[in-house]
Amino acid sequence: MTMYVWELCNSTLSVDFYVTGNQGERRISISNRLLGPADGGSLDLSWEQWEDLKEAIEGAPMKPSVGGIVHYVSYGTPGGEYASECRAAVVTAVRNDHGIVDLCVLNPEGMYFNQDVLQDELPPPDKIVAGERSEHRGGTWHWPERVE
């Protein structure tokens, strides 16, 4: 048995599945209340259907909510004494559906509140092409990077 856990639109979706069949005919049996019948039954999917489902779940855009943890990118100082870097932040208000939020930013020296902060997401590192920006802009927030 293998278990996958995703955070999907501020809800956790955990999936237990079993792989059956040989290499060319693998099938997935998924057990989860959110995916199966109301009694918590299971779905039987082909390997291709599983891959499609996994891609749809992982590609679903997350929405910020009050109390959520995000990364805030500090501006750094003009003289370079302090570099721009990611800081943990807690969402204190969601201003609209376009990623504008208010944050409580947590720094080693203390915390401060920042209003009307824009979201700045980058493509995954393996999808960035030459000449594209590869660092987040100062004064913005983004979802924490996945750690493998």
Taking only the tens place, the pLDDT of each residue in 19-67 is 555 545 555 555 544 444 444 455 566 667 767 776 666 666 788 999 9
Q: How far apart are CA 91 and CA 101, in angstroms?
A: 7
Confidence bin at 74 (pLDDT 50/70/90) = very high
Taking only the tens place, the pLDDT of each residue in 86-130 is 999 999 999 988 889 999 999 988 999 999 999 988 777 777 777
pLDDT for position 21: 53
Q: How far apart are CA 32 and CA 12, in angstroms?
A: 11
Of the two residues 12 and 46, the one the predictor is more confident about is: 46
For the chain, what are the domain ranges? 2-59, 69-142
Nearest to 120 by CA among 102, 94, 139, 106: 139
19, 27, 45, 79 from 24: Cα distances, Å: 12, 10, 14, 59
Q: Is the whole-model pTM more than 0.75?
A: no
